[in-house]
Amino acid sequence: MMKEIVVPKGCEWRFEVEEPGIQIRLANGNAEYFGTELALGPPYKFEQVKGAIFTWQGCTLEVEGEPSVEYVAEETPMCTYLNLHFALENIRKKAEDDASVDPSISGPRVCLIGPKSSGKTSVMKILESYALRQSRHPVCVNLDPSQPMVALPGSISAFHNATILDIQEATGFGASMSTGPTHILAKSPLVYNYGLDSPYDNPKLYKSCCSRLALAVNSRMTQSSDASVSGCLVDTCSLQENYERYQGTLHSIITDFRINIVLVLGSERLYSTIKRNYSDASWLSVVKLPSSGGCIDREPEWIAKWQSKCLKQYFYGDERMPLSPLSIIVDSTQLVVYRVLEASESGPKSSVLPIGFEEETGQADKQGSYMSLALSGKGQYLERITTEAMTILQNSILAISSVNEDENETAIIDSCILGYVFVTDVDDVKNRMTLLSPVPDRLPSNALIMGTCKWQE
Ligand SMILES: Nc1ncnc2c1ncn2[C@@H]1O[C@H](COP(=O)(O)OP(=O)(O)OP(=O)(O)O)[C@@H](O)[C@H]1O
């Protein structure tokens, strides 16, 4: 049944839907979904999302399907977010003007922080979409492995975007490159595999993955004047009550990504702590932002369903672009599969490594990890899974490393991800594994990494 919803100017229609979802058509007026404008006429399908359609001048929506929750909200922080966008735009204009004198001057490098469900990702989408509407292309960075952007759970990623965000895609950012034609130009993200759900599971590994991604983002920003002027938007994991635990990681994110603006959402206490901690840092502005009243906590079951939708979409596409993944059978003795370790499971301590190999820093560390991985199968961050133990891979999502299987642990951790395969069957008698792969042909690398992400088709 179709119903009409009139949204007055400056208001938003908030909704929550699961499967089978709803279809929304903008019948008249103008409207946007987290900053991305809706076209008049065509239907947009939303499934397994909680979101809002905001209008600056008023609109009428035609909705087919039954959302589990829906209402029109009169109070929104959209004016504040729009003002923030204009402030960032002024910094970009200044960077553009100054670039001829000093090319190292860059646009706003923004990091969004805040408690759980304070609206960090939504504000990032709004700021990215508003920037795109002014022909700016800030680099989008996602450092929350539990809620990936253009990638699968367990990863952190970045992309330099040239087109609008795809609001109908599961993550709300858009799909990555595929063999089929896409309605909206696909994104080509740079993805690193952290493999675990929370940065607290292995803080050292998380920091190392973030630093690696930051190096790539910084180098992109030096090579492209467009990226340099537009700046970047970095979405972080939610800060738990005990912010102190995350403090070191947050500081390394701020320095690695050369952040010059920290946006603190929805927590006065966090804002004042950050402001105090960086009171001497003249290069850093700490800005407080209100959370939208529409921000809503998602239960772990909801997140699990959403992650499953992202996984399904990665392999099978969606109604707009169905994909046909292939089942391939591989010889498991030819594969080198690693499991990402939580901090509590890390391999041998330096006390059992040969003299001269230390656990943490520098070259000694790299060789130490390599030695320990070679000696015991367990390194500082990864454990090699023996062919006999490969049954544990059943139903796992494996990230395909961009380095060869004979590389050491550090090289594997430092390398980006080419894609993912899903393990549908493991035959430990015949040493065969059946993988669901998005592309035909051989695997591009035999070095695979297993994280905590499992899936039931
Ligand atoms: N104005 C709004 N109306 C309705 N829903 C909203 C609104 N703003 C955000 N949401 C929804 O609230 C949920 C939480 O928002 P969001 O993901 O942006 O927060 P977050 O701080 O990034 O969350 P997390 O801490 O889990 O990373 C999301 O499902 C989002 O779509």
Is 365 part of a structural domain of the chain?
no
- Closest residue CA from atom 15 of ligand 1: 119
Among 121, 124, 125, 241, residue to substitute to test ligand 1 (most atoms within 8 Å of Cβ): 121
Is 115 part of a structural domain of the chain?
yes
Answer yes or no: do 234 and 189 share one domain: yes
Q: What is the CATH number of the domain that holds 408?
A: 2.40.30.330
Q: Which residues contact 317 (CB under 8 A, 6 or more apart)?
A: 175, 178, 180, 323
Answer yes or no: do 89 and 141 share one domain: yes
Answer yes or no: do 120 and 242 share one domain: yes
Does the pLDDT of residue 389 top 90, yes or no? no
- Residue located via tokens 């006065």: 268
Is 93 annotated in some ligand binding site?
no
Phi-psi region of 266 (alpha: psi -120 to 50; beta: other; left: phi over 0): left
Question: What pLDDT digit, counting tens, does each position of 32-53 carry?
Answer: 999 999 999 899 999 989 999 9
Is 358 part of a structural domain of the chain?
no
Amino acid at 275: K
Answer yes or no: do 274 and 414 share one domain: no
pLDDT at 180: 64
pLDDT at 55: 97
| Full residue range of the structural domain in which residue 15 is found | 2-73
Is 369 part of a structural domain of the chain?
no
| Ligand 1 centroid from CA 83, angstroms | 20
Q: Distance (Å, rounded) from C-alpha 77 to C-alpha 86?
A: 15
- Closest residue CA from atom 26 of ligand 1: 117
Q: What is the CATH number of the domain that holds 38?
A: 2.60.120.1030
Answer yes or no: do 387 and 293 share one domain: no
Q: What is the CATH number of the domain that holds 139?
A: 3.40.50.300
Residues with CB under 6 A from ligand 1: 12, 14, 50-52, 114, 116-122, 144, 147, 238, 292, 294-296, 298
Question: What pLDDT digit, counting tens, does each position of 48-70 carry?
Answer: 899 999 999 999 999 999 999 99
Mean pLDDT, residues 13-41: 94
Is 359 part of a structural domain of the chain?
no
Answer yes or no: do 293 and 381 share one domain: no
Is 364 part of a structural domain of the chain?
no
Question: What pLDDT digit, counting tens, does each position of 221-254 carry?
Answer: 988 888 999 999 999 988 766 677 778 889 999 9
Task: Provide the 10 A C-beta neighbour count for residue 43.
Answer: 13
Is 230 annotated in some ligand binding site?
no
Average pLDDT of the chain to the nearest whole number: 86
| Ligand 1 centroid from CA 164, angstroms | 19
CB-CB contact of 127 with 85 (8 Å):
yes
Interface predicted TM-score (ipTM): 0.98
Is 360 part of a structural domain of the chain?
no
Answer yes or no: do 186 and 265 share one domain: yes
- Closest residue CA from atom 3 of ligand 1: 294
pLDDT at 182: 65
- CA-to-CA separations, 214 to 147, 154, 161, 455, in angstroms, rounded: 19, 17, 17, 29
Answer yes or no: do 210 and 109 share one domain: yes
Domain count for the chain: 3
- Residue located via tokens 């990091």: 111
**Residue 258 — pLDDT band, cuts 50, 70, 90?**
very high
Mean pLDDT, residues 268-284: 92
Is 8 part of a structural domain of the chain?
yes
Answer yes or no: do 265 and 410 share one domain: no
- Closest residue CA from atom 14 of ligand 1: 117
pLDDT at 111: 97
